[in-house]
Structure 1
Amino acid sequence: MPARHRSALLAVFCLLAATAPALADGIMLPREPQIGPRPFYLVDKMKDGPLKQQLSQCTGPFRKTDFSIGHRGAALEFPEHTKESYVAAARTGAGIIECDVTFTKDRELVCRHSQCDLHTTTNILTVPELAAKCSQAFSPADPATGKKASAKCCTSDITLAEFRTLAAKMDGFNPDAKTPEEYQNGTPRWRTDLHANSGTLMTHDESIALIKSLGAKFTPELKAPEVPMPFDGDYTQEKYASQMIAAYKKAGIPSSDVFAQSFNLADVLHWVKTEPDFGAQAVYLEERYEKHGLDPGKPETWKPSMEELKASGVKILGPPIPMMLALNDKKEIAPSEYAKAAKAAGLDLIGWSLERDGPLHKGGGFYHRSVKAAIDRDGDTLTVLDVLAKQVGVRGMFSDWPATTTFYASCTGMK
């Protein structure tokens, strides 16, 4: 074979090697994130202006980024906290992936958004032997009285072995259901069941192994127990919190790759005290707006204050989007007083959760409530993200479809 032909053939082989998918634990991963059409759809729906012009000219290459955090994986399209959802998050560029951590009856850790959400996120109600163990059995709706269908099934109701037999589904329920099957057929219309027929539940240890194989970092959230603690005699909150961190140490995961989270400040301070390497980047998830009357525009309601949080050892604060945004005098989306004070106190911010309100043509819901008057189209998702990134200065954003945050970070030069 002539030398020039050998050189050409070698060039082709090199090109194929550069673009071929990599293998991670038997899972095909692209060498560069594959973001699909949604980010471009959002750009098309933006208001005309410099940001739209900049983003409309961005066609890649796209890259994995820690700014893009997979909220429960990629929960907009795949059942949350499943193998499929985590893999989708990695394939679309999430540099950090979340496992919400709770425990089973035999004190084993598993990934679920809530300790008592099995009736809306799995098929448990249609598995008679496990449905019988639920804290609250299925109760059908009664149109004559206006009573809605209900049930309550917790991970603490069943053992790990029993948990493993369940299949995941999209989170949702039908309040007008007459049967368990109808109750579990309640996916919100702006999500999809196309990928939800084989959702694979994950234990916490399995999530660590999978996310490691995907080349991503970790943000486990210690969920608030919905059973009295200590559980089963001597399982205290502190043991629960320590057990979660111990799993990463056992797996050889460096503390720098783990962003442990909790809505309970005591959990964060426990990690700061007992596991300082992990506590150094633990995330205090903001919940005081629900329980303690925190108003993002009134510093007197911020108890502890931003400075007190910082002094206690908290370094990263995780508020929901509406806590960090407000409308300025021109009715434009801008940083809230809360966000500005947090940054002034030296606290890093991580926001949650982009693309969780569904279509935005009517202003969105909870996640856009503080700027609702300025929201009227799906493209405003990127406008909100831009303010959070450039003006608020968040270090990362949770998203239910992390392709969007990957796209934005790649197109604007963020790390």
Structure 2
Amino acid sequence: MTRAFLLGTAMLMLPVAAPAQSQDGGTYDEGLSYGPRPFFLIGKMADSELKSELMSCMGQEPQRTAFSIGHRGAPLMFPEHTVESNRAAAGQGAGILECDVTFTSDEELVCRHAQNDLHTTTNILLTDLAETCTTPFTPAADGEDATAECRTSELTLEEFRTLEPKMDAANAQATTVEDYVGGTADWRTDLYANDATLMTHAESIALFDQMGADFTPELKAPSVDMPMGEFTQEAYAQKMIDEYKDADIDPSRVWPQSFNLSDIQYWIENEPEFGAQAVYLDDRYEAFDEDEGEIDPMDASTFMPTMAELKEMGVNYIAPPLWMLVTLNENGEMVPSVYAEEAAAADLDIITWTLERSGPLASGGGWYFQSVTDAIDTDGDYFEILDVLAQDVGVVGVFSDWPATVTYYANCKGL
């Protein structure tokens, strides 16, 4: 039995809540569905052993799996961080769901990808609350893009609840507010954006628990200087954990995330049961050295802190973007990167992000596939890179904007 197989199954063996009752008396697990997309992607694959294996699983019954993680729900087609988006993700078999956590002016925790994204994810610019925006809408002119910035930290929770969520998008060439709040990519859809429902963090806990899913909240970096009044970064990190304790959620069901290593260390030291599963979102790809210039995150000599040092700190999970885990060998084949090998050597479990966020892959896949662009030319390659991540890199979970694809793969492979 290979180490890749053992790592690839580690998270699947973690406890997932028992099937919850739906409103019609059945269970959410009974209503799981892959929908058409996995089969569409398989049809795009070149003939291979993997394609044949995936085709052989077309009659299987979907099973919930913790290997499949809903990234903000299922935002390929549903407005992110909404009730509807997460119901879609749970219905596709995602065993873990995400609430990106930020806060309002009255220190209430809500689900938003960023504290300053309301201008692209809600209708705030079309409401009277537009006057609270840090940067008012400025139309495109003289070769300059349209701009705006609106923050949850400028609103009370009561004001936040009046907003209507929409697909995350903005038209940079807009000359009117109405045009600016459009701009949904043509490979997404506004079909499910009507009457979507915003959530607080506490409401997300109740919803995910009801649907039988586990939790991976991400503590988002504030756009305001901290402390905000008496609300410190530590109080913010603690408040997020406290809401799971208040809901009587077992710490083994929670994977708290942060790009801020200090947040991870805080949880390890102050909430060790939660800290044991804290996920360090490694962003060393943004590192820059004044003497050397941009740092190559694939070069082991630039790993600061090193993988071994992270492990010594008590970090057990890291989560880099998927392109950091794979590279191409001399034959143009996708293989584990030095980064992935170093993480495995340090006995760090790896979660990665984000599958199906780049849209159609015919043009190389964009930012998320930058290390293997030359090997990507069809939508079927989503399964090819997923196979390398699971079998060769040994990731224990994959975030996706459409979890059905990852669920299908995990179920077919018997993970």
Question: Normalised by the size of structure 2, how large is the TM-score?
Answer: 0.92
Report what 1:302 is aligned to: 303
Residue 22 (structure 1) shift? 4.8
Measure, in 2, the Cα distance between the counterparts of 1:159 and 1:138: 21
Residue 24 (structure 1) shift? 5.2
Residue 393 (structure 1) shift? 0.3
Measure, in 1, the Cα distance between the counterparts of 2:199 and 2:24: 15
Are 1:189 and 2:186 counterparts?
Answer: yes
Quick check: 1:295–1:302 contact (8 Å CA) kept in 2? no
Residue 255 (structure 1) shift? 0.2
Measure, in 2, the Cα distance between the counterparts of 1:32 and 1:83: 17
The one-letter code of the counterpart of 1:276 is: P
The one-letter code of the counterpart of 1:340 is: E
Report what 1:318 is aligned to: 319
Report what 2:284 is aligned to: 288
Report what 1:156 is aligned to: 153
Measure, in 2, the Cα distance between the counterparts of 1:215 and 1:297: 37
Residue 26 (structure 1) shift? 8.8
Report what 2:223 is aligned to: 226
Measure, in 1, the Cα distance between the counterparts of 2:183 and 2:196: 16
Report what 2:8 is aligned to: none
The one-letter code of the counterpart of 2:187 is: W
Report what 1:179 is aligned to: 176
Pairs aligned (count):
390
Report what 2:401 is aligned to: 400
Measure, in 2, the Cα distance between the counterparts of 1:410 and 1:227: 43
What does 1:11-410 align with in structure 2 at a 5 Å threshold? Answer: 22-23=21-22, 29=28, 31-58=30-57, 59-127=59-127, 129-142=128-141, 145-231=142-228, 233-292=229-288, 293-410=294-411
The one-letter code of the counterpart of 1:346 is: D
Q: Which runs of 4+ in 1 moved over 4 A?
A: 24-28
Quick check: 1:222–1:241 contact (8 Å CA) kept in 2? yes
Residue 43 (structure 1) shift? 0.4
Residues 276-285 or 289-298, more deviating: 289-298
Quick check: 2:21–2:211 contact (8 Å CA) kept in 1? no
Q: What SS does the aligned partner of 1:319 have?
A: coil
The structure that has the greater radius of gyration is 1
The Cα offsets for residues 305-348 of structure 1, whole Å up to 9 and x where unpaired, read as 00000001100000001100000121100100000110110000
Quick check: 1:133–1:157 contact (8 Å CA) kept in 2? yes
Q: What SS does the aligned partner of 1:96 have?
A: strand
Report what 1:4 is aligned to: none
Quick check: 1:106–1:160 contact (8 Å CA) kept in 2? yes
The Cα offsets for residues 82-118 of structure 1, whole Å up to 9 and x where unpaired, read as 0000100000000000000000011100000000000
The one-letter code of the counterpart of 1:322 is: W
Quick check: 1:22–1:30 contact (8 Å CA) kept in 2? no
With CA pairs under 8 Å and 6+ residues apart, which has the higher RCO, 1 or 2? 2
Measure, in 1, the Cα distance between the counterparts of 2:170 and 2:381: 28
Q: What SS does the aligned partner of 2:216 have?
A: strand
Residue 25 (structure 1) shift? 9.5
Measure, in 2, the Cα distance between the counterparts of 1:321 and 1:348: 14
Residues 25 and 138 (structure 1), Cα distance of their counterparts in 2 relative to 1, 3 Å cut: farther
Measure, in 1, the Cα distance between the counterparts of 2:391 and 2:295: 25
The one-letter code of the counterpart of 2:122 is: T
The Cα offsets for residues 19-65 of structure 1, whole Å up to 9 and x where unpaired, read as xx951599983505201000001001011110000001112111000
Quick check: 1:135–1:154 contact (8 Å CA) kept in 2? yes
Quick check: 1:32–1:62 contact (8 Å CA) kept in 2? no
Quick check: 1:229–1:236 contact (8 Å CA) kept in 2? yes
Q: What SS does the aligned partner of 1:310 have?
A: helix
- State, as a whole percentage, how many aligned pairs show the same letter: 57
The one-letter code of the counterpart of 2:78 is: F
Residue 210 (structure 1) shift? 0.5
The one-letter code of the counterpart of 1:212 is: D
Question: Normalised by the size of structure 1, how large is the TM-score?
Answer: 0.92
Residue 291 (structure 1) shift? 2.9
Q: Calculate the aligned-residue CA RMSD, in Å.
A: 1.4
Measure, in 2, the Cα distance between the counterparts of 1:273 and 1:151: 39
Residues 25 and 217 (structure 1), Cα distance of their counterparts in 2 relative to 1, 3 Å cut: farther
The one-letter code of the counterpart of 2:132 is: K
Quick check: 2:140–2:146 contact (8 Å CA) kept in 1? yes
